[in-house]
Amino acid sequence: MTSEEIKQNVEKALDEIRPFLQSDGGDISLVAIEDDSLVKVKLHGACVGCSVNQMTLKSGVEMTIKKYAPQIEEVLSID
C-alpha cells in the first residue's frame, strides 16, 4: 500500500468517526502520517477539554484507523 493509499484509508476512518465526535460538539482532523505507521491527529471543540478524549483516541479512533490501515502502529493527538 502506498503512502497516498494509507492517507486515503486514514481519512476514511476519520470520516467514520467524525459524526460521533461532532454530535458531542467536537471534531478531529488529520495532521500528519509519519513513516506510514504513526498517525497524528488534532482534536477540536469539545474534544479538547474532554476528560475521556485519550480513551476515545485509543479505543475508538486508533481501532477504527487500524481497521482501514492495519500497518498503522500508533495514533497520537497533538495540541
Instruction: Give the mean pLDDT of 61-77.
Output: 94
What domains can be seen in the chain, in order of their start residue? 3-77 (3.30.300.130)
Are 45 and 10 in contact by the 8 Å Cβ rule? The answer is no
pLDDT at residue 33 greater than cutoff 90: yes
Q: What is the pTM of this model?
A: 0.88
Instruction: Give the mean pLDDT of 64-73.
Output: 96
pLDDT at residue 64 greater than cutoff 80: yes
